[in-house]
């Protein structure tokens, strides 16, 4: 049997190029390698931990499914499904709650950051790491693609596996990290902040039209220098644009600096916009096709759930027996 890889994507707005170059690109590569059994889910339960509009959330869940399929997740190579369609995620979370201390949850950095950002400190936000541990361990995952900022959550899942195994007998493997590239794509209009859906003017969405891409890139912050350069500390604006160019063109940063030696910012921005339009066009064309066929997308998600459900049911049944439920 192949080792299992599990990862989730939270439906909280349209995907942007930072999302694509981070976890999503890694997920596509993992399924393409044919070394793993890949389970990728839309983490809709996680998305309920902050205030939302129910009608908008339903559409966000569907749109995220469209986006990940358009970006390259392949239902023939991966199980792609919606988290809430597998009730075992929530059931295992409750069981894990019984072996999780409040102190461990209080020590989670992301919870503190979310509260500082102004999110409501509800129980779901506090308990977020336990649900994440259940997401991973439910499928006996051996590998989880994560960025450096998610290492604490993965360690929480590993600790949960150890705690359960020690108390009830060997059940779960301790999953290992597959570190995704630590790319920091910054906001176009505020390069001091990471690209985010909360900063729409500086955010390049996968669905942006050529006209919108050109407008956003032209308006992107740079600096008072005349030469194209790369120095994230001293020149964050132009450095961010050079990094984006590198990621979408495949050219190394030094080669880009050489290519645009003597060119002005306007010329470079026009070239960057064209690269983005060209590279995003196939994704956008597939996206439009999928949006027109809701039935086909839902069938993919249903089929993915059918592949995932027997594994989830088997794991939960084993857990119930070991903890004394009948």
Name all contacts of 133-136 with Cβ < 8 Å and 24+ positions apart.
Answer: 133/93, 133/96, 133/157, 133/160, 133/161, 134/89, 134/90, 134/92, 134/93, 134/96, 135/6, 135/8, 135/41, 135/43, 135/83, 135/89, 136/6, 136/175
CA distance 229 to 33: 35
Which residues are CB-contacts of 130 (< 8 A; sequence separation ≥ 6)?
93, 96, 97, 100, 105, 160
CA distance 131 to 278: 39
Structural domains in the chain plus CATH codes? 4-184+294-323 (3.40.50.620), 200-289 (1.10.240.10)
Q: Is 194 a catalytic residue?
A: yes
CA distance 143 to 7: 9
Catalytic member of 57, 77, 173, 197? 197
Catalytic member of 57, 77, 194, 279? 194
Integer-rounded Cα radius of gyration of the chain: 21
pLDDT at res. 121: 86
The total of other beta-carbon atoms located within 10 Å of residue 220's CB is: 24
CA distance 61 to 56: 9
Please list the pLDDT of the chain residue by residue as tens digits (326 residues). 889 999 999 998 888 998 888 888 889 999 998 899 999 999 999 999 988 899 999 999 999 999 999 999 999 999 999 999 999 999 999 999 999 999 999 998 888 888 887 888 899 999 999 999 999 999 999 999 887 667 889 999 999 999 999 999 999 999 998 877 767 899 999 999 989 887 888 999 999 999 999 999 999 999 999 899 999 999 999 999 999 999 999 999 999 999 999 999 999 999 999 999 999 999 999 999 999 999 999 999 999 999 999 999 999 999 999 999 99
Tokens read off for 284:
């956008």
Q: Is 170 a catalytic residue?
A: no
Q: Is 261 a catalytic residue?
A: no
CA distance 251 to 243: 10
pTM over 0.85: yes
Cβ 11 vs Cβ 57: under 8 Å: yes
């Amino acid at each position: 049997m192949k080792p299992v890889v599990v990862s989730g994507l939270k439906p909280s707005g349209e995907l942007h190029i930072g999302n694509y170059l981070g976890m999503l690109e890694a997920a596509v590569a993992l399924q393409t390698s044919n070394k793993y059994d890949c389970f990728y889910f839309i983490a809709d339960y996680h998305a309920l931990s902050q205030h939302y509009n129910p009608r908008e959330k339903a559409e966000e869940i569907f749109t995220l499914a469209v986006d990940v399929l358009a970006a390259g997740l392949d239902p023939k190579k991966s199980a792609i499904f919606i988290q809430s369609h597998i009730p075992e995620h929530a059931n295992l979370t409750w069981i894990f709650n019984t072996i999780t201390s409040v102190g461990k949850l209080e020590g989670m950095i992301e919870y503190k950051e979310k509260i500082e950002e102004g999110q409501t400190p509800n129980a779901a936000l506090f308990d977020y790491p336990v649900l994440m541990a259940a997401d991973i361990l439910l499928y006996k995952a051996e590998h989880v693609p994560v960025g450096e900022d998610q290492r604490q959550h993965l360690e929480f899942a590993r600790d949960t596996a150890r705690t359960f195994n020690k108390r009830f007998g060997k059940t779960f493997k301790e999953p290992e990290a597959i570190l995704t590239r630590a790319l920091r794509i910054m906001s176009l209009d505020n390069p001091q902040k990471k690209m985010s859906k909360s900063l729409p003017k500086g955010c390049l969405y996968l669905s942006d039209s050529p006209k919108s891409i050109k407008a956003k890139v032209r308006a992107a912050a740079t600096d008072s220098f005349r030469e194209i350069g790369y120095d994230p500390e001293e020149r964050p604006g132009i450095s961010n644009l050079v990094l984006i160019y590198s990621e979408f063109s495949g050219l190394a940063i030094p080669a880009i600096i050489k290519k645009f030696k003597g060119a002005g910012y306007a010329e470079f921005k026009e070239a960057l916009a064209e690269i983005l339009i060209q590279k995003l066009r196939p994704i956008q064309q597939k996206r439009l096709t999928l949006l027109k066929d809701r039935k086909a997308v839902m069938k993919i998600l249903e089929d993915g759930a059918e592949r995932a459900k027997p594994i989830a049911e088997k794991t939960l049944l084993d857990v119930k027996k070991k903890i004394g439920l009948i």
